[in-house]
């Protein structure tokens, strides 16, 4: 189906920056600069500057960033790591694949980990916390870092959905041991294929990630230091991402503008909860514009029938999949969220007329 307002339009985004993308494509390919060349280094420098950390290490995915962070944090068999019950599964999978046990904690009304519930989940085996900055909003990092200090825990941020978001004017991904990033095509900074990165201020972690991503090998000395992985960010993707990074501040502004329009157009609908939490410590970037209503499924049908593409982040709690063997300690907010949330189109490709159409179509449902 061709939607009047698609959820995302990667081809249109390409057309917006075609000349710049084509230029770097020809440069990289014609020189044969395919693996670990200047473009990767350049992007890592620019990306770490954007986030506000000393180092960035380009990887193949957000998952790899989380997995390598768990190894760098020293997570091993028997260690417990606190993760939110409402997130993308990769957060918990990285813990499991490093040998640890994820211990889930419910989220709050803003979809991020409920910091008032972290301490009751801590046991003598707890080694780390992974706050996930979901939908473009940083977790309450003041509280998370305070708890981590008190119990001597490592913190790793899953910042895959919050590039450019801040808490107390500090950027997502710059508070803790590592920030973990995804450049999956549909992220705010998305490649033309998979990509990811770690940001960190710790030179030991930066070096470890740099070795682990390339089979554990130091490329200069040719010495192997670890049994590593093959999860390097492609040089070509790095070149594309570097182009897009230059546009990111404008794109974040545009997202905030669209969010403000949605807010203005939908605020009086009583049955609808909008993702504006009015706490001046947080500046959100709206990776997803998530609305909430008890009539979610009907609203989703209505929007789709009328040409507005919507998605659900996420329709079912990940811990409810029995094959994953995760402990469900009871997470009422996550359960309600999975029944009630709906993500409206939020991207830099849509124009004002399309935004108004989404508002009108939502309003026509509640009339």
Ligand X SMILES: Cc1ncc(COP(=O)(O)O)c(C=O)c1O
CA 187, CA 179: separation in Å to the nearest integer?
15
Q: Pick the closer one to ligand X by CB: 82 or 355.
A: 82
Q: Pick the closer one to ligand X by CB: 194 or 284.
A: 194
CA distances from 282 to 14, 23, 141, 168, 253 (A): 31, 37, 10, 6, 15
Min dist CB 89 to ligand X, Å, is 8
Q: At what angle do helices 18-31 and 235-266 cross, to 10 degrees?
A: 160
Chain residue at closest Cβ approach to ligand X: 62
Min dist CB 190 to ligand X, Å, is 9
Q: Pick the closer one to ligand X by CB: 85 or 272.
A: 85
Min dist CB 341 to ligand X, Å, is 14
Q: Pick the closer one to ligand X by CB: 113 or 344.
A: 113
Q: Pick the closer one to ligand X by CB: 63 or 282.
A: 63
CA distances from 108 to 112, 177, 287, 332, 334 (A): 6, 24, 18, 10, 8
Token couple for 6: 């698609």
Q: Pick the closer one to ligand X by CB: 110 or 194.
A: 194
Burial of 267 (0-12, 13-18, 19+ CB in 10 A): exposed
Min dist CB 18 to ligand X, Å, is 24
- Residue 23: alpha-carbon gap to chain centroid: 28
Kind of pairing, strands 178-182 and 154-158?
parallel
**Planar angle of CA 42, 44, 47, nearest 5 degrees:** 110
Min dist CB 313 to ligand X, Å, is 8
Q: Pick the closer one to ligand X by CB: 198 or 266.
A: 198
Min dist CB 114 to ligand X, Å, is 17
Mark out the alpha helices in the chain (DSSP H runs).
10-16, 18-31, 38-51, 62-72, 90-97, 141-151, 203-212, 235-266, 296-305, 332-340, 352-366
Min dist CB 162 to ligand X, Å, is 9
Site residues for ligand X per CB under 6 A: 61-63, 87-88, 90-91, 132, 158, 160-161, 182, 184, 194, 196
């Amino acid at each position: 189906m061709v939607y009047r307002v698609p959820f995302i339009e990667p081809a249109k985004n390409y057309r917006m920056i075609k000349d710049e993308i084509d230029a770097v494509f020809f440069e990289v390919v014609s020189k044969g600069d395919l693996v670990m060349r200047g473009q990767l280094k350049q992007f890592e420098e620019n990306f770490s500057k954007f986030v506000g950390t000393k180092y960035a290490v380009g990887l193949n995915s957000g998952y790899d960033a989380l997995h390598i962070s768990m190894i760098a944090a020293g997570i091993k068999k028997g260690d417990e790591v606190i993760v939110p019950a409402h997130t993308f599964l990769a957060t918990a999978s990285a813990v499991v694949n490093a040998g640890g046990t994820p211990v889930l904690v419910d989220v709050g009304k803003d979809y991020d980990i409920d910091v008032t519930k972290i301490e009751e989940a801590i046991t003598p085996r707890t080694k780390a916390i992974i706050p996930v900055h979901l939908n473009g909003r940083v977790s309450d990092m003041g509280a998370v870092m305070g708890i981590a200090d008190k119990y001597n825990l490592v913190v790793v941020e899953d910042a895959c959905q919050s590039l450019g978001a801040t808490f107390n004017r500090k950027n997502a991904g710059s508070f803790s041991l590592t920030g973990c990033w995804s450049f999956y095509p549909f992220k705010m900074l998305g490649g033309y294929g998979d990509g990811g990165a770690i940001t960190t201020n710790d030179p030991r972690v930066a070096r470890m990630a740099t070795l682990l991503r390339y089979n554990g090998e130091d490329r200069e000395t040719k010495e192997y230091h670890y049994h590593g992985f093959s999860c390097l960010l492609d040089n070509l993707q790095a070149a594309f991402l570097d182009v897009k990074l230059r546009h990111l501040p404008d794109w974040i502004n545009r997202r905030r503008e669209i969010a403000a329009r949605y807010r203005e157009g939908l605020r009086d609908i009583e049955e609808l909860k909008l993702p504006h939490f009015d706490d001046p410590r947080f500046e959100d970037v709206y990776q997803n514009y998530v609305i909430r209503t008890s009539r979610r499924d009907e609203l989703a049908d209505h929007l789709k029938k009328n040409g507005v593409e919507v998605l659900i982040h996420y329709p079912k709690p990940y811990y409810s999949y029995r094959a994953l063997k995760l402990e469900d300690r009871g997470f009422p907010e996550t359960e309600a969220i999975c029944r009630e949330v709906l993500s409206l189109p939020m991207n830099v490709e849509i124009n004002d007329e399309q935004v108004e159409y989404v508002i009108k179509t939502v309003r026509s449902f509640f009339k």
